[in-house]
Amino acid sequence: METQALKNDLIAWIQRLQDRGILESLAMLKRGAEAHDWADDLSPEARASIELGLDDIKQGRTMSSEEFWKKRGR
């Protein structure tokens, strides 16, 4: 189905739709699609730092909260 035909079909379906739950789900989907992703605003340095942290996790270089606080004297 062509894009415009699909849009027209969805519009017609939504106009006939009476189910409030489905309408609310569609509204939530719309809000999500239109939302700004905060990650797009990260600096290159912040992105690199996050990538390093994710790599640490993948490599098993992690510690529990308890271990963290023991090393800091709490």
User: Using the 8-state DSSP alphabet, how is residue 40 labeled?
Assistant: G
The secondary structure of residue 46, as a DSSP letter, is H
Q: Which residues contact 23 (CB under 8 A, 6 or more apart)?
A: 14, 17
Beta carbons of 26 and 14 less than 8 angstroms apart:
yes
Whole-prediction pTM value?
Answer: 0.49
In this prediction, residue 73 carries a pLDDT of 82
Along the 74 residues of the chain, how does pLDDT read in single tens digits?
A: 899 999 999 999 999 999 999 999 999 999 999 988 889 999 999 999 999 999 999 999 999 999 999 988 87
